[in-house]
A and B are shown apart, each in its own frame.
Chain A
Amino acid sequence: MSTVAKPPMAAGTKPSAKVVVTDRARAENRLGLRLVLPAVVVMLVVTAWPMLRALYLSMYRYRLTTPDDREFVGFSNYATVLTDSLFWRDTWNTLLIMVVTVAVELVIGFAFAMVMHRIVFARGAMRTSILIPYGIITVVSAFAWQFAFSLNNGFVNAWFAWLPWISSDTNWFGSHWPAMFAIMVSEIWKTTPFMALLLLAGLSQVSEDMIEAAKVDGATWWQRLRKVILPNMRAAIMVAVLFRALDAFRIFDNIFVMTRGAQDTESSSFLTYRQVIEQMQLGLGSALSVLLFLTVLLLAWLIVRLFRVDLAQARGEG
């Protein structure tokens, strides 16, 4: 392989001028390549192949139950999708859910992280209890929240009946905004601990000395938070926001369990699922999958640009 081959002349003549590549290093390099090769092959088979296959299928009008009517249609599936109001409505829903849930989670998650970081008393118990929701399977938590908001046997109506807009027969899943609210609440409840965990990791990296120094200089609590703690946590915040935003953009389980997309609460993933799995429209569905993938890629790029942090640094390699 080209990476391990060395010009035969250079080997003996000027070893000190370049980085010395010993035989041992070369052998290790070769061994390393051989060791990762199976993993790379598996990755290609399970990741790259389905992706290419989806790209190929998206060029066809193809329904699983009428395989004989399969027809090459070029990019017309993409045109159908991109000119359809349903696609844009679902994309808007998904973006809305992503922005609202990530923003709320960031605030609550940070508060939780502070609590977990500073608490002296019952530290283990507190940290564990904050993390419990994250340990619960999303489908289970979605069912729990569906029951909570249910008109027939939920507690939300009973507990909050003193609010002017909630009564004992408020049907949360009967119209768009209440249903979206219920979905977002379940998403926030479920994933805030994850956010808190990532932020806690960032928080513990902030040097106590700096905070101490700021204190000595007379900085208030608010100033210490804004000028010392947050800037030093930027990498951790970026990772947390990136992970959660991409996760939230792919929201599916809560909607599937709570509304099945009724009341216009469908997300992009749910739309894709319905086309591929329910309608068995492999062509249209694949086009949607490709678009979903590109959107996620774009989002990741935007977030990385926005926070101006390189991932290698976030991983502690920089």
Chain B
Amino acid sequence: MQHPPIEGRRPARERRRRTSRGLAAAAAVTMLSGVLAACSASADSGKPTLIWYINPDAGGQDKVAENCSTDDYTISTQVLPQDANQQRIQLARRLAAEDPEIDIMSIDPPFTAEFANAGYLAELPQELQNKLKEQSFEGATTAATWDDQLVVAPFWSNTQVLWYRKSFVEKAGIDMSKPVTWDQIIDAAADNGGKVAVQANKYEGYVVWINSLIAGAGGEIATDTDKGVDLTLELDSEAGTKAAGVIAKLAGSAAAPADLSVAQEGQAGGTFGSAQGAFLANWTYIWTNYDESQPEVKKDIGYARYPQTVEGEESHPPYGGIGVGVSAYSDHVDEAMKAIECITSPENQGVNAELTGNMPASAEGYDYQPLAKIYPADLLQLFQDSLDAAAPRTVTPYWSDISGGIQSTWHPPSAVNSKTPQESQDFIEDVLKGGRLL
């Protein structure tokens, strides 16, 4: 029970209550006006801030944003989620709502075509397109092109090489100076108690591997991409069967890491760094990955060209990277075009590569001096050769459906068999026509 308040105290309490209420209101008004003032101040100064949505990295893009801020505009960065698919979702939903707060975006190759096709990307001036085409690697240009137009500016290009432990290769007696096949490294690892680490979790990285395996057998996941949903799927082919053969062989062999079906880049790197580490197919960043944590592993790392799917046939390593695009709904499209020209200049590509290990999208970018201190010359050459031969994923607005369909039918790796390519092709065809749930 509450006792009635003592009469004499009431006014004092009331007063206090009133005072504190007044104070709270005053504080709120002050804060609000402060916020408003801040807003109007930035609007009044006339110097626009370009907001660049970046994928998370070790500070490379922040540095480049600083380098490219001028007297006319400042570039500030906002970090997108780690997962590429989540990056796509966040950007696409905001762009579909015509959000003017996005000016510049770092876009992953698999959804570049989707964004361009949906009209989310501002058209790059022809002059800039020509300049970029001239400086960039061919794979980078292919991945950035939709409907004969370069729709994003290639910023960095990544590729995978075959990393191996020198001590293991020596023990197993394999000659790594010649091109190797997946069959060879799986057998060698299985016979000598080593593991072949790859990315085979149910995610985009697994499709990257599958795409490279198919390309290595002379195939392609899909063609006729200009026909939209009526594109031609080529999974059910000899190349598809060969790719399935490699995956089934690894999954069923002693060379498969225990966490194969959940392994992404990090887990694969962990397996490679462990006592069982033998071979690893992974991106360029692996060279600096163990510098701090496991220097003894760093000393033991060797590298070779990505393994062949079919003996004697050139391998086509995965292509990854980032293209920088300008939002069609930005209020500062002209400034943003100037900004991306600066961001993707070979020098800034080098600056970014030095800080993040994400290699340049142009040969000229590789000339950036500090890179030679971090990477041996033959490794830099291997990266460039690999990029030249790299197989970008099929450029189509429907890539997320195709990729999702492949993930549904090819995962887990231990369930892949010679029927998988045909099953996945039928499934994806149904999905594209809206007859199946993905």
Which of A65, A86, A274 has its CB near the most chain B CB atoms (within 10 A)? A65
Per a CB cutoff under 8 Å, which of B114, B117, B411, B434 touches A80?
B434
Judged by a CB distance under 8 angstroms, whether A277 is at the interface is yes
Per a CB cutoff under 8 Å, which of B202, B434, B437, B438 touches A260?
B202
> Which chain B residues (381-400) contact chain A, with CB distance < 8 Å?
397, 400
A174 touches B261 (CB 8 A): yes
Contact size range, B: 20 to 34
A64 touches B436 (CB 8 A): no
Name the residue of chain A whose CB is nearest to the CB of B88: A278
A174 touches B262 (CB 8 A): yes
**CA of A261 to CA of B125, assembled, Å:** 42
Judged by a CB distance under 8 angstroms, whether B254 is at the interface is no
Interface string of B269-284 (1 = CB under 8 A from A): 0100000000000000
Judged by a CB distance under 8 angstroms, whether A81 is at the interface is yes
> Which chain A residues (124-151) contact chain B, with CB distance < 8 Å?
151
B412 touches A80 (CB 8 A): no
Interface string of B209-228 (1 = CB under 8 A from A): 00000000000000000000
Name the residue of chain B whose CB is nearest to the CB of A76: B434
Which of B115, B261, B262 has its CB near the most chain A CB atoms (within 10 A)? B262
**Cβ of B130 to closest chain A Cβ, rounded Å:** 28
List chain A residues, Cβ under 8 A from B96: 64-65, 67, 280
A279 touches B118 (CB 8 A): no
Judged by a CB distance under 8 angstroms, whether A173 is at the interface is yes
> Which chain A residues (30-75) contact chain B, with CB distance < 8 Å?
61, 64-67
Judged by a CB distance under 8 angstroms, whether B306 is at the interface is no
Interface string of B72-106 (1 = CB under 8 A from A): 00000000000001000100110010000000000
Name the residue of chain B whose CB is nearest to the CB of A152: B270
A263 in contact with B412 given A279-B400, A279-B401 (CB within 8 Å):
yes
B201 touches A274 (CB 8 A): no
Name the residue of chain B whose CB is nearest to the CB of A271: B437
List chain B residues, Cβ under 8 A from A260: 202-203
Contact size range, A: 20 to 34
List chain A residues, Cβ under 8 A from B397: 65-66
Per a CB cutoff under 8 Å, which of B115, B401, B412 touches A175?
B412
Judged by a CB distance under 8 angstroms, whether A284 is at the interface is yes
B92 touches A151 (CB 8 A): no
Per a CB cutoff under 8 Å, which of A152, A275, A279 touches B259?
A152
List chain A residues, Cβ under 8 A from B262: 151, 171, 173-174, 262
A274 touches B438 (CB 8 A): yes
**CA of A224 to CA of B236, assembled, Å:** 67
A65 in contact with B117 given A171-B258, A260-B202, A278-B400 (CB within 8 Å):
yes
**Cβ of A173 to closest chain B Cβ, rounded Å:** 5
A64 in contact with B93 given A80-B435, A80-B436, A279-B401 (CB within 8 Å):
yes
Judged by a CB distance under 8 angstroms, whether B422 is at the interface is no
**CA of A279 to CA of B411, assembled, Å:** 19
**Cβ of B181 to closest chain A Cβ, rounded Å:** 27
Name the residue of chain B whose CB is nearest to the CB of A77: B434
Interface string of B114-144 (1 = CB under 8 A from A): 1101100000000000000000000000000
A151 touches B259 (CB 8 A): yes
Per a CB cutoff under 8 Å, which of B118, B202, B203, B258 touches A151?
B258
**CA of A86 to CA of B431, assembled, Å:** 12
**CA of A318 to CA of B85, assembled, Å:** 52
Interface string of A80-91 (1 = CB under 8 A from B): 110010110000
**CA of A67 to CA of B95, assembled, Å:** 12
A66 touches B117 (CB 8 A): yes
Name the residue of chain A whose CB is nearest to the CB of B115: A65
**Cβ of B398 to closest chain A Cβ, rounded Å:** 9
Name the residue of chain B whose CB is nearest to the CB of A167: B258
**CA of A20 to CA of B54, assembled, Å:** 70
Judged by a CB distance under 8 angstroms, whether B253 is at the interface is no
**Cβ of B27 to closest chain A Cβ, rounded Å:** 26
**Cβ of A94 to closest chain B Cβ, rounded Å:** 15
Which of B89, B404, B438 has its CB near the most chain A CB atoms (within 10 A)? B438
List chain A residues, Cβ under 8 A from B267: 152
**CA of A279 to CA of B400, assembled, Å:** 7
Judged by a CB distance under 8 angstroms, whether A310 is at the interface is no
List chain A residues, Cβ under 8 A from B401: 279
**CA of A271 to CA of B437, assembled, Å:** 9
Name the residue of chain B whose CB is nearest to the CB of A73: B434
B92 touches A279 (CB 8 A): no
A284 touches B434 (CB 8 A): yes
**CA of A275 to CA of B437, assembled, Å:** 8
**CA of A271 to CA of B438, assembled, Å:** 8
List chain B residues, Cβ under 8 A from A169: 258
**CA of A126 to CA of B89, assembled, Å:** 44
**Cβ of B407 to closest chain A Cβ, rounded Å:** 8
**CA of A86 to CA of B435, assembled, Å:** 12
A277 touches B437 (CB 8 A): no
A262 touches B411 (CB 8 A): yes
A65 touches B118 (CB 8 A): yes
**CA of A151 to CA of B271, assembled, Å:** 11
A174 touches B270 (CB 8 A): no
B437 touches A86 (CB 8 A): yes
**Cβ of B72 to closest chain A Cβ, rounded Å:** 33
Instruction: With A86-B436, A280-B92 given, name 12 new contacts (CB 8 A).
Output: A64-B92, A65-B92, A66-B118, A80-B435, A152-B259, A152-B270, A171-B262, A174-B261, A271-B437, A275-B438, A278-B400, A279-B404
Sort A-B residue pairs by CB-CB distance and give the 6 closest, nearest first.
Answer: A262-B202, A169-B258, A65-B118, A84-B437, A174-B261, A86-B437
Contacts A/B (CB < 8 Å), 13 sampled: A65-B114, A65-B117, A66-B397, A151-B259, A152-B267, A152-B270, A169-B258, A171-B262, A263-B412, A271-B437, A277-B93, A278-B85, A279-B400
B interface, CB within 8 angstroms of A: 85, 89, 92-93, 96, 114-115, 117-118, 201-203, 258-262, 267, 270, 397, 400-401, 404, 411-412, 434-438
